Structure 1
Amino acid sequence: MSARRRILGAAAGAVGLAAAGAAFGVRRQDRAIGRRRVDSTPFGSLHSKPLTVVAEDGVPLHVEVDELEHGAASSPLTVVFCHGYALNLDCWHFQRAAYRGLVRAVYYDQRSHGRSGRSPDGHATIDQLGRDLQTVLDHVVPDGPVVLVGHSMGGMTVVAYAEQHPEAFGDRVVGVGLISTTAGGLDPSRVLLPLLPAKLGGELANRTIRTLARRHQLVDGARRAGRSVARVATDLFAFGDEVPAAYVDFVDHMLSSTPFEVVAEFFPSFRSLDKFDAVEVMGRVPTTIICGTSDRLTSIGHSRKLHARIQGSTLLECEGAGHLVLLERHGQVNAALDQLLSAAAERVGHP
């Protein structure tokens, strides 16, 4: 039997398992998630007038800017939030709720994600995301000090920007927040875990992704059909502790709304990422690194390595939290960002 047939066979087995509702344990866990306290926060409801910024290769990027409220104390800072893999700008819900009207903030959907346009072949890379960030800055933050905050792939976006524009740090960029991210050494099979059987990870990961990308409608359909399996996988890999069911459903909706074809396009960039040397320029400005100790995708070791490479940086380890720490421990994350913004503002006031 060819490797391609074995991969498709294993994937078909996973599809069949999902379509059948998996096993009693999955159904039981799905019911347990549903019984958790329902949070009344209206996820996905915080928006401002949309803007379209066109990337260098013609991809339209969906951008939203929360301006300062009339009469609010003036702040010279603009904070730019970069979201992660298979998510969209709505993932910053708690941060947006906390800072709306108090600081000028920019949120945008990465290419091929959310409401942004699809990337052409060969342009779904971390380096391209760094260039997209520059384009967003050029259009909506043409001057003034900037704080860059990135989660997961969004943190990698900030790292790519640092590699491309080291001169900006200490000049335009006056603060950095890196949440649940890395600059390299990521095991791509970890990224596959919420989507595919573990035995298809490791050395087979890239081949599996390429093969399934050609059958992306099958994978997307399997996720919809196996809702309980998808929900339990999201809960397991996105969070460390028990969170309200609304949190799980919110993240699961973002993940399932991202076509598997997009997942496949970006996947090779994670294996080749190697930019730890680029992060050292962040030592010129206040930098806060945040990660959950139970992060199963970009484990705490990545954040500790970033902390070791960025002189003067602050590391917040959220005990027991998972990859979506910005939701799960939003109080801790926002408090750390408060301190980062204060340090950045002080730097602007006292160079």
Structure 2
Amino acid sequence: MPPTPPLTVVFAHGYCLNQDSWHFQREAFRDGLRLVFWDQRSHGRSERSRSYLAGQQSSIDQLGEDLGAVIDAVAPTGPLVLVGHSMGGMTIMALADQRPELFAERVAGVALLGTTAGSWRGVTLGLPGVGARMFHRIGPGVIKALGRQAGLVERGRRLSSELTAAIYQKFSFGSDDIDPALAHFAQDLLEATPVDVVAEFFPVFPAHEKTAALAVLRDIPTLVMAGTRDLLTPPSHSEAIAAELPDAELDIVPDTGHLLMLERPDLVDARLADLLERAAAHCGAPLPQHVHDLAQATRRA
């Protein structure tokens, strides 16, 4: 019987970000593993969604199909580990719903970081109850209107970048003690996403409901992580995912916000290394020694 090929690890980034949000993970795992980074449609270096430009509303299901197309194109054989943050985690759930056979035959591990399986309308964003309900009621319309005035809004974003830095930090990180260079890096990622792309995808989150699709992951080593101060996908959403996956590793990280892979890279890297160990054992794939060494940090924590 031929040996199992090495793992291919596919990273799916979140809303208003791009593949550079995995900067620390790219550095940690670049030796001895095959890594796939890609920009979701309309984000980063990907072109604008042609279907959206033609008048079709974007959806998480579309993103799931995109992920499947990426896998088919660049990793058509061998075991896979899928890592998704925020919207990227939803993308993985959509793919599980669409192609459960892929997960049964090839997916050896899944990481869901700062994401949700549904019920996003209940997220308060740190606002009082009345404010949260008002935001969910009028927010989509306001953001859609801003998207129609993209040129004007983009000029305003550039002029007010210092004023908006505090808002970006509040919704990105859970600690006030953030390296200014890291805060600027995160802000650059967010501001690189055009406002009309922000408007394109914002309506998809209330419609996202993939709790039933989590059943596809029940026999697959899975890591679920969230920060206690995540205002966009609060830890209760990760706890709800873990409740559907009794064998999943759940890690709720204190004093950490939505961009946990940037805010706590050492911890996230160690948890991912532990997942890669479990995935390799699950499918019999080889694993570089440095991944085993990195996983030891999880067991020492």
Contact 2:123 2:232 in 1 (8 A): no
Q: Distance in 1 between matches of 2:157 and 2:215?
A: 40
User: TM-score, normalization: structure 1?
Assistant: 0.74
Q: Which residue of 2 aligns with 1:153?
A: 87
Does residue 261 of the first structure (1) align with residue 196 of the second (2)? yes
Match of 1:169 among 89, 92, 103: 103
In 1, Cα distance between equivalents of 2:116 and 2:83: 13
Contact 1:184 1:275 (C-alpha < 8 Å) held by counterparts: yes
Share of identical aligned residues, percent? 45
Larger radius of gyration, structure 1 or 2? 1
Answering whether residue 66 of structure 2 is matched by residue 132 of structure 1, we say yes
Deviation at 1:280, TM superposition (A): 1.6
- Distance of aligned partners of 1:269 and 1:119 in 2 relative to their CA distance in 1, 3 Å threshold: same
2:230 aligns to what?
Answer: 295
C-alpha distance in 1 between matches for 2:273 and 2:236? 24
Deviates more, 1:128-137 or 1:217-226: 217-226
In structure 1, which of residues 235, 242, 247 is the aligned counterpart of residue 169 of structure 2? 235
CA deviation map 1:286-315 (0-9, x unaligned): 000011011011000000000001131110
Alpha-carbon deviation of 1:124? 2.4
The aligned amino acid for 1:177 is A
Residue 90 of structure 1 aligns to a residue whose secondary structure is helix
Aligned to 2:289: none
Give the paired residue count: 274
Whole-angstrom CA distance in 1 between matches of 2:243 and 2:75: 30
Moved over 6 A (4+): 197-200
Q: How does 1:315-326 map to 2 (within 5 A)?
A: 315-326=250-261
- Does residue 218 in structure 1 map to residue 152 in structure 2? yes
Q: Tell me the distance in 1 between the aligned counterparts of 2:204 and 2:38.
A: 20
Unpaired stretches in structure 1, ≥5 consecutive residues? 1-73
Deviations 1:86-144 (A, max 9, x none): 00000001100000122111000111011110002225211110000000000100100
Greater relative contact order (Cα 8 A, min sep 6): structure 1 or 2?
2
Give 2:230's aligned amino acid. Answer: D
Name the residue aligned to 1:185.
Answer: 119
Pick from 92, 113, 135: which aligns with 2:22? 92
Matched AA of 1:128: Q
Structure with bigger helix share is 2
Letter in 1 for 2:32: L
C-alpha distance in 2, partners of 1:322/1:97?
A: 21
SS at the partner of 1:317?
A: strand
Going from structure 1 to structure 2, the CA distance change for 1:191 and 1:225 (only over 3 Å counts) comes to farther
- Please, which runs of 5 or more residues in structure 2 have no aligned partner? 286-301
Q: Secondary structure of the equivalent of 2:218?
A: helix
Distance 2:125 2:45 in 1: 23
Encode CA deviations 1:163-183: one digit per residue, 9 max, x unaligned: 101122231111000000011
**Separation (CA, whole Å) in 2 of partners of 1:274 and 1:302:** 12
CA contact 1:149–1:177 (8 Å) conserved in 2 = yes
Is residue 271 of structure 2 the alignment partner of residue 271 of structure 1? no
Quick one: structure 1 residues 311 and 188, their matched pair in 2 at CA, closer, same or farther if it must change by over 3 Å? closer
3-state SS, counterpart of residue 170 of structure 1: helix
- The Cα RMSD (Å) is 2.0
- Conservation of the 8 A alpha-carbon contact between 1:188 and 1:271: no
Measured at CA, do residues 139 and 285 of structure 1 come closer, stay the same or move farther in structure 2, by a change above 3 Å?
same
